[in-house]
A and B are shown apart, each in its own frame.
Chain A
Amino acid sequence: MSEVPLTHILFLSTCLFFIGIYGLFTRRNMITMLMSIELMLNSVNINFVAFNKYLYPEKLDGIFFTIFVITIAAAEAAVAIAIIINLYRSHHSIDVEDATEMKY
Chain B
Amino acid sequence: MSPATIIFYIISAFILGTGILAVTTRKIFRASIWLLFSLIGIAALYFWMQLEFLAAVQIIVYVGGIVVLIIFSIFLTIKSGEEMPKPILIRSIFSALAVLFGTRFVVRLISLYTFKPISTTAFNLSVNQIGTQMLDTKDFGYLLPFELISILLLAAMIGCIVIALKSNDKEATTFQNSIQ
Contacts and interface: CB of A to CB of B under 8 A. Distances in A.
Contacts of B76: 85, 88
B12 A27 contact: no
Secondary structure class of chain A's binding surface, majority of residues: helix
B45 A46 contact: yes
Interface string B5-16: 100100010011
Interface in A48-96: 49-50, 53-61, 63-64, 66-68, 70-79, 81-86, 88-89, 94
A77 B69 contact: yes
B2 A94 contact: no
Given A10-B110, A26-B91, A66-B54, A35 B22 contact: yes
Contact of A29 (B24, B28, B72, B95): B28
A12 B106 CA distance: 11
B31 A32 contact: yes
Contacts of B51: 49, 53, 63
19 contacts: A12-B12, A16-B19, A18-B102, A21-B102, A29-B84, A38-B62, A54-B115, A63-B51, A64-B145, A68-B145, A71-B61, A71-B153, A74-B65, A78-B160, A79-B160, A79-B163, A81-B73, A86-B164, A94-B77
Interface of A: 1, 3-4, 6-8, 10-12, 14-16, 18-23, 25-29, 31-32, 34-36, 38-39, 42, 45-46, 49-50, 53-61, 63-64, 66-68, 70-79, 81-86, 88-89, 94
Interface of B: 1-2, 4-5, 8, 12, 15-16, 19-20, 22-24, 28, 31-32, 35, 38-39, 42, 45-46, 49, 51, 53-54, 57-58, 61-62, 65-66, 69-70, 72-74, 76-78, 84-85, 87, 91-92, 95-96, 98-99, 102-103, 106-107, 110-111, 115-123, 125, 129-130, 133-134, 140, 142, 145, 149, 152-153, 156-157, 159-161, 163-164, 166
